[in-house]
Chain A
Amino acid sequence: MGFPLSGLRTSHPLAVTALMEAIIQTENLRKIYRVGKVDVHALRGVDLTVQAGEFIAIVGPSGCGKSTLLHILGGLTGPTAGRVLVDGNDFLRMSDADRTRFRRHKIGFVFQRFNLLPTLSARSNIALAQHIQGNGFNPHRFDAVVEALGIREKLDAQPYALSGGEQQRVAIARAVICEPKILLADEPTGNLDTENSQLVLNMMRALNRSFRQTILMITHNPEAAAVADRIVRMRDGRIILE
């Protein structure tokens, strides 16, 4: 594959000392949305364990609850019932502010639509994540990530001047710049052509292998899912096959 990820150094203790420790555990996880006067059961009892350093693909038809599961694991929304432990933190007992703080330091998101801030350059989009984390700009980490993802030449470009593949690489750089424990990717190749999809998948694989980045990736694409260590299939708010 040949991505220069050796320049990245992780500070994750889990990556070094607890190779087989569960970083995510859900038990009978449920999520009910209220849409008008109708309760929508998005998750109907999900039991999932993810080891630190695992690369997991979550597949399933639209509306099966994949994104909801990802949002809960990323602390974007709270569960309705059940148990969800992420890096030892019980999300059911955490306030919104606590989950936000947790997300800031331990979660990185990659979205299908890249979700770069359109008014900022690629460089500023990446640096923004460091700024929000509050540890200040780390030039060594920044340079290593930029080099690893091959976007140095594109740093001063605005998102609209970048191809889909370049935007997604910037988005991945933004997601990993703060050394998150878990990278959550919601159909990261959904808006990319085959070549760029393969490029992004290779990079994620490299991130996972080179410094044991835990990755959960939602995808519809069987070829993308094949890159993962393990494939989890969902249907109707439940995991049907692991």
Chain B
Amino acid sequence: MINKMILANVLHRPVRTAIAILAIAIEVTMVLIVVGLTSGMRNETARRVEGIGADIMVQPAGASMFLGLGSAPMPIKIGEDITRFPHVLAVTPVLIQPSSTGGINLVWGIDMPSWDRVTGGFVYHSGGADRQGCRVDCSFADPYDLIVDDWNAKANRLKVGDTVNLLNHDFRLVGIVEHGKGARMFIPLHTAQDLAASENRATVFWVKCTDPGYTDDVLKSIRDWLPKYQILSVREYYTMMTSNNIPALNAFIAALVGVAVAIGFLVILLTMYTTITERTREIGILKSLGASKRYIINAILREAGLLCAVGITAGCVGTLIARKVLLSSFPTLSVDLTVEWAIRAAVLALLGTLIGAFYPALRAAQLDPVDALSYE
């Protein structure tokens, strides 16, 4: 019976109901997309680092776990010295340059011969055919040659032979490669060093062991030799990036989730407050029939809960649509949606709703029945 009354009330004011549901849906969508985007981009970065095929990464002291952000590059000689360590197969230096062309991108300056030894080489979708079997730094015939991965090419509608303005210089696209190896854009290491005025320097060294089983031994040796440097196995880095315990990122997610929940809370508070104001007389009628405070609070919380449930469902559907739109508009983005976060978003929305509805419910329950019955 109480459910019938609640449903009738909800349907009685379709616009207000729709607004409340929309607010909850936006809240849920916002939470899921923000979390999905941050974790998706983070996981995708981790997967690309793992996809390099190296076992160890060497960065200067104070380097960010987000590659290329912060800290001065290291002398390239360090990499040459690491090559001589026991059980080290190859070391490749990379100088990472942020580029603001077409949004914030990271351009990796790579030394193609050592890159090929560590990574096994690129798989070309187009271009690069004439480079088959090349074993010297000839992948880049020209200092201003550029290689991009297939996602970047798709996002920017690029084809081999196109000119791309990067780091205030025109580069010629010479190859489109399979995604998943470090970055999305690659230029010759020397060019990157010239443009960054960092001659003979690198941001990170990727170390390949003769056998992955030697990773810990090599790691220890390098750490002993470079105690102040940030040296991690790629396995450790991957775990860190995918473990949801990155403080700054967690704070960012918490802040945005907090804003989303606050929006839902305020809209429900306002909706239920106007509802009980409008239904003051009806609450008086319920009281005249002997409805207890608990009955009235229960009815209002259930009504808010119904709005919330529909809003959560709409929010989940909205998230799937938003993800599809985002990925078709920005193919380089990655949005990881998980059932765990869908449940968290639903619980947060429900909590915000119940808290938002509780004050109006309490007010309704405390209304004087005589005043409520005479309310016009």
- The interface of chain A, by Cβ under 8 A from chain B, is 71, 74, 76-77, 97, 100-101, 103-105, 107, 109, 111, 115-120, 124, 127-133, 137, 174
Known: A117-B285, A174-B289. 6 other contacts (CB 8 A): A77-B369, A100-B287, A103-B289, A104-B289, A118-B12, A119-B5
Chain A residues near B282 (CB-CB < 8 A)? 117-118
Q: Residue of A at shortest CB range from B10?
A: A119
Chain B residues near A76 (CB-CB < 8 A)? 287-288, 369-370, 373
Chain A residues near B368 (CB-CB < 8 A)? 77
| B250 interfacial contact with A, CB 8 Å | no
Instruction: Tell whether, in the assembled complex, residue A107 and residue B373 are in contact, meaning their CB atoms are under 8 Å apart.
Output: no
Task: Report the Cα distance A94→B165, complex, angstroms.
Answer: 84
Q: Can you list 16 residue pairs at the A/B interface with Cβ under 8 Å?
A: A71-B369, A76-B287, A97-B292, A100-B293, A104-B290, A104-B291, A105-B290, A107-B290, A115-B284, A117-B5, A117-B282, A119-B9, A119-B11, A128-B1, A131-B2, A133-B290
Chain A residues near B290 (CB-CB < 8 A)? 100-101, 103-105, 107, 132-133
Chain A residues near B9 (CB-CB < 8 A)? 119
| Proximity bits, B277-307, A CB within 8 Å = 1, else 0 | 0000110111111111101000000000000
Task: Report the Cα distance A124→B373, complex, angstroms.
Answer: 20
Chain B residues near A127 (CB-CB < 8 A)? 1
Instruction: Tell whether, in the assembled complex, residue A128 and residue B287 are in contact, meaning their CB atoms are under 8 Å apart.
Output: no
Chain A residues near B287 (CB-CB < 8 A)? 76, 100
| B8 interfacial contact with A, CB 8 Å | yes
Task: Report the Cα distance A111→B374, complex, angstroms.
Answer: 11
Instruction: Tell whether, in the assembled complex, residue B292 and residue A101 are in contact, meaning their CB atoms are under 8 Å apart.
Output: yes
For the complex, would chain B's binding face be called helix, strand, loop or mixed by DSSP majority? helix
With A77-B370, A119-B12 already in contact, the answer to whether A132 and B295 are too (CB < 8 A) is: yes
Q: Residue of A at shortest CB range from B292?
A: A100
Task: Report the Cα distance A76→B367, complex, angstroms.
Answer: 11
Q: Could you say which of B1, B288, B291 contacts A115, with CB atoms under 8 Å apart? A: B288
A37 to B: closest C-beta gap in Å: 18
Instruction: Tell whether, in the assembled complex, residue A120 and residue B292 are in contact, meaning their CB atoms are under 8 Å apart.
Output: no
Chain A residues near B291 (CB-CB < 8 A)? 100, 104, 132
With A115-B281, A120-B4 already in contact, the answer to whether A129 and B289 are too (CB < 8 A) is: yes
Chain B residues near A77 (CB-CB < 8 A)? 368-370
Which are the 9 A-B pairs with shortest beta-carbon distances?
Answer: A104-B290, A131-B1, A119-B8, A103-B290, A76-B369, A119-B12, A109-B288, A115-B285, A132-B289
Which chain B residues numbered 344 to 376 have a C-beta less than 8 Å away from chain A?
368-370, 373
B298 to A: closest C-beta gap in Å: 11
Task: Report the Cα distance A109→B284, complex, angstroms.
Answer: 12
Q: Residue of B at shortest CB range from A131?
A: B1
Residue of B1, B289, B293, B369 ringed by the most chain A CB atoms within 10 A: B289
Q: Could you say which of B12, B281, B288, B293 contacts A97, with CB atoms under 8 Å apart? A: B293
A79 to B: closest C-beta gap in Å: 13
Chain B residues near A97 (CB-CB < 8 A)? 292-293
Which chain B residues numbered 244 to 288 have a C-beta less than 8 Å away from chain A?
281-282, 284-288
Q: Residue of B at shortest CB range from A108?
A: B289
Q: Residue of A at shortest CB range from B281?
A: A115
With A101-B290, A101-B292, A117-B282 already in contact, the answer to whether A128 and B5 are too (CB < 8 A) is: yes
Chain A residues near B284 (CB-CB < 8 A)? 115
B291 to A: closest C-beta gap in Å: 5
Task: Report the Cα distance A132→B2, complex, angstroms.
Answer: 9
Task: Report the Cα distance A77→B282, complex, angstroms.
Answer: 17
Task: Report the Cα distance A111→B290, complex, angstroms.
Answer: 15
Instruction: Tell whether, in the assembled complex, residue B288 and residue A124 are in contact, meaning their CB atoms are under 8 Å apart.
Output: no
Chain B residues near A174 (CB-CB < 8 A)? 289
Task: Report the Cα distance A137→B1, complex, angstroms.
Answer: 9
Task: Report the Cα distance A75→B21, complex, angstroms.
Answer: 38
Task: Report the Cα distance A71→B24, complex, angstroms.
Answer: 41
Chain A residues near B292 (CB-CB < 8 A)? 97, 100-101, 104
Chain A residues near B295 (CB-CB < 8 A)? 132
Task: Report the Cα distance A207→B281, complex, angstroms.
Answer: 28
B373 to A: closest C-beta gap in Å: 7
Which chain B residues numbered 1 to 40 have a C-beta less than 8 Å away from chain A?
1-2, 4-5, 8-9, 11-12
Chain A residues near B286 (CB-CB < 8 A)? 132
